[in-house]
Amino acid sequence: MLKRILGLGRAQARTVSIESTGLSFPVGPGETVLEAALRAGIAFPNKCRSGACGTCRCTLREGRVREKVDTSYVLGADDLQRGQILACQSLACTDLRLAVEGLQPQQRIPAPRATEGEIIAMRPLTADILEIRLRLQSPMPYLAGQYAELARKGIPGARQYSFARGSGDGHAVSEPCFFVRHVPGGRFTAWLHHQAVVGDCLSVQGPYGDFWLRDAMRPMLCVAGGSGMAPLRAMLEDAAERQVERDVLFCFGARTEADLYCLDDMKLLASRWRGRFRFLPVLSEEPAESDWQGRRGMVTAEMMSELKDPAGMDAYLCGPPPMVDDGIARLKAAGMAEARIRFDRFLDASHQPSAQAVP
Ligand code: FES
């Protein structure tokens, strides 16, 4: 019988199996199903880990769970009727059998870990984006496209930032770097941009997220805005290292020419890339009288004018939610299958005051 219960589960380890995959893993008392899956190196779909995005939804076929929060604001009545749960909010009260859509059983991911990181370099990339490099006490493996949570003692909460450099396909990295956009009113980013100095320390936990490059031979569309450049640059760096041979169109949206960055990195990538590689910057607020000769307008509209066969491509979108959502809607309307569209919405205090925020 499928049953959700509110109340205390019995404090003992349980086993979770994922049907049709042959995967199973133990889940300890007080541990969520998602935490246990990631600890076991299973590529369970996840993004926010706070019950906000719905990415970790799965179907409970057998067993009982206790939910940490009311998930009905993410799961509709039909979802609940079908036995859907959020793995990031579910504690196992019994052994469980789950059905998880989109899980690749052969894909292994690095288990999350916690460490300390000392700031060893800071560099402004634009007026509001700062690159920081940390030296970790304990090197962290990750897949390019994933993120880590950074926290500073004395500032409540943790913020999520994508790794901005490749890891050599999951190797442990001792000096990761991140792009931090200054969010007006955000205490953490205000501290980093205006007070932090080389030598300051941060807590680092990760890796998390499922925004990594999937193996395929199809042409790729990459779309980023603002600090959404970070995971795509990391992903493309690792792919270039592996000598991946796929055509790439990388559309990057910025407000003005002064907001463009990583242009030399894009040139370097293009020179190393084995297929065709095209970087297309698009400016939305560049003054009409400027001498900018490139594209103007919304990056999502401009990308569509470049696509000959969207249904035959894979897409990776990363950046502010309105850009990502608009891009997804346009691609779906043009015939791209939902399963071919990967995305990472960068939420911050101006979009949603949740644990997924990056203020
Ligand atoms: Fe579970 Fe977002 S709701 S990862």
Average pLDDT (183-195) is 95
Between the CA of 57 and the centroid of ligand 1 the distance, in Å, is: 7
- Which of 182, 210, 238 marks a domain boundary? 210
From the alpha carbon of 87, which atom of ligand 1 is closest? 1
3-state SS of 221-284?
A: EEEEEHHHHHHHHHHHHHHHHCCCCCCEEEEEEECCHHHCCCHHHHHHHHHHCCCCEEEEEEEC
| Beta-carbon contacts of residue 145 (< 8 Å; ≥ 6 apart) | 162, 163, 209, 211, 212, 213, 231, 232, 234, 235, 316, 344
Between the CA of 214 and the centroid of ligand 1 the distance, in Å, is: 20
Cβ-contact 185, 349 below 8 angstroms: yes
- The CATH number for 44's domain is 3.10.20.30
> What pLDDT was estimated at residue 201?
98
Please, what is the average pLDDT of the chain? 92
Residue 340 has pLDDT above 50, yes or no: yes
From the alpha carbon of 356, which atom of ligand 1 is closest? 2
> What pLDDT was estimated at residue 62?
97
Tell me the pLDDT band of 347, cut-offs 50, 70 and 90: confident
Between the CA of 242 and the centroid of ligand 1 the distance, in Å, is: 31
Pair 86, 176 in one domain = no
Count of other CB atoms within 10 angstroms of residue 146: 26
pTM of the model: 0.92
> What pLDDT was estimated at residue 354?
37
User: Does residue 20 form part of some domain?
Assistant: yes
Between the CA of 124 and the centroid of ligand 1 the distance, in Å, is: 32
Between the CA of 44 and the centroid of ligand 1 the distance, in Å, is: 11
Average pLDDT (238-262) is 97
- Which of 156, 190, 210 marks a domain boundary? 210
Cβ-contact 312, 219 below 8 angstroms: yes
> What pLDDT was estimated at residue 102?
86
> What pLDDT was estimated at residue 87?
97
From the alpha carbon of 86, which atom of ligand 1 is closest? 1
- The CATH number for 307's domain is 3.40.50.80
> What pLDDT was estimated at residue 288?
94
From the alpha carbon of 74, which atom of ligand 1 is closest? 3
From the alpha carbon of 54, which atom of ligand 1 is closest? 3
User: Does residue 353 form part of some domain?
Assistant: no
Between the CA of 11 and the centroid of ligand 1 the distance, in Å, is: 24
Pair 281, 338 in one domain = yes
Pair 302, 267 in one domain = yes
Best mutation site among 33, 53, 73, 101 for ligand 1 pocket (most ligand atoms within 8 Å of CB):
53
pLDDT digits (tens, 9 = 90+) for 145-162: 999 999 999 999 999 999
pLDDT digits (tens, 9 = 90+) for 4-40: 444 444 468 899 999 999 999 999 999 999 999 999 9
Pair 147, 238 in one domain = no
Residue 205 has pLDDT above 50, yes or no: yes
Between the CA of 307 and the centroid of ligand 1 the distance, in Å, is: 32
From the alpha carbon of 89, which atom of ligand 1 is closest? 1
Cβ-contact 346, 357 below 8 angstroms: no
Residue 165 has pLDDT above 70, yes or no: yes
> What pLDDT was estimated at residue 6?
42
Residue 74 has pLDDT above 80, yes or no: yes
User: Does residue 104 form part of some domain?
Assistant: no
Pair 67, 178 in one domain = no
- Which of 187, 210, 233 marks a domain boundary? 210
**What is each CA distance from 144 to 37, 80, 140, 204, 334, in whole angstroms?**
19, 34, 12, 16, 28
Average pLDDT (35-50) is 96
Tokens at residue 34, please? 């998602």
- The CATH number for 145's domain is 2.40.30.10
Please list every protein residue whose CB sits less than 6 Å from any atom of ligand 1. 46-49, 51-56, 86, 88
**DSSP states of 56-123 as a string?**
TEEEEEESEEEESS--TTTS-HHHHHTTEEEGGGEEESS-EEEE-TT--TT-B-PPPEEEEEEEEEEE
Cα separation of 257 and 281, whole Å? 9
Between the CA of 87 and the centroid of ligand 1 the distance, in Å, is: 7
**What are the φ and ψ backbone dihedral angles of 330, each rounded to 5 degrees?**
-65, -40
Pair 124, 79 in one domain = no
Number of domains in the chain: 3
Cα separation of 46 and 52, whole Å? 11
From the alpha carbon of 49, which atom of ligand 1 is closest? 4
Calculate the dihedral angle through the C-alpha atoms of 59, 46, 158, 181, rounding to the nearest 10 degrees: -140
pLDDT digits (tens, 9 = 90+) for 251-296: 999 999 999 999 999 999 999 999 999 999 999 999 999 999 999 9
Cα separation of 208 and 158, whole Å? 13
Residue 193 has pLDDT above 70, yes or no: yes
Best mutation site among 33, 38, 46, 100 for ligand 1 pocket (most ligand atoms within 8 Å of CB):
46
Q: Of 72-76, 96-100, 190-194, 352-356, which gets the smallest average pLDDT? A: 352-356
> What pLDDT was estimated at residue 11?
67
Cβ-contact 120, 198 below 8 angstroms: yes
Cβ-contact 234, 145 below 8 angstroms: yes
Average pLDDT (152-173) is 94
Best mutation site among 48, 65, 79 for ligand 1 pocket (most ligand atoms within 8 Å of CB):
48
Write the burial class of residue 39 (CB in 10 Å: 0-12 exposed, 13-18 middle, 19+ buried).
middle
Pair 199, 224 in one domain = no
Between the CA of 51 and the centroid of ligand 1 the distance, in Å, is: 5
Between the CA of 89 and the centroid of ligand 1 the distance, in Å, is: 8
Residue 68 has pLDDT above 60, yes or no: yes
Tell the residue nearest (CA) to atom 3 of ligand 1. 51
Pair 242, 262 in one domain = yes
Amino acid at 146: Q
Best mutation site among 33, 42, 44, 56 for ligand 1 pocket (most ligand atoms within 8 Å of CB):
56
Cα separation of 189 and 151, whole Å? 11
Its domain, for residue 137, covers 113-210
